[in-house]
Amino acid sequence: MIRTMFTIAAIALGASIAVADQDPVAARRALMKANGDEAKIGVAMMKGETPFDLAKAQKMFATFEDAAQKMPALFPETSKTGGDTAARLEIWQNMDDFRARFDKFAVDAEAAKVSVKDLDSFKAAFNAIGKNDCGGCHEKYRVKKS
């Protein structure tokens, strides 16, 4: 429900900035949750639980790219705490590195949209993004919740 409202609000306003001004923590968590939902579909395809589907893979990489472009604006100084955030304070101490990681994430997702043609090329691209982009950033900048 809340997520549906967020999505509709974002479409209606046509500007994620407006949403970000209101609640950057909720906005960045929603973008990341979308990444996680897409990645689950990717994992299922990789394991052979669902058949490889190029359209789904393309949508996944497009979601990643979109998130990578929007995320850097969602970490103002005022958003270090609150909203049950799992962001570590290291983000604000290393903002250049943090932002550069999102740039790389966007480039990798964009490249994957072009390079992925079949299950093998999907596995290669998805593994690399999962390890280097998602995993690398979470390791350094996200509080482990369990």
Contact positions toward ligand HEC, by CB under 6 A?
A: 25, 28-29, 32-33, 35-36, 39, 64, 85-87, 98, 101-102, 105, 129, 133-134, 137-138, 141-142
Nearer to ligand HEC, 119 or 142 (CB): 142
CB of 4: closest distance to ligand HEC in angstroms?
15
Nearer to ligand HEC, 14 or 17 (CB): 17
Report the candidate in 13, 1, 7 with the shortest Cα–Cα distance to residue 30. 7
Give how far Cα 18 sits from Cα of 6, 7, 15, 22, 99, Å: 12, 13, 6, 7, 20
Q: Which residue has the tokens 């049950």?
A: 84
Nearer to ligand HEC, 64 or 122 (CB): 64
**Rg (alpha carbons) of the chain, rounded to whole number:** 16
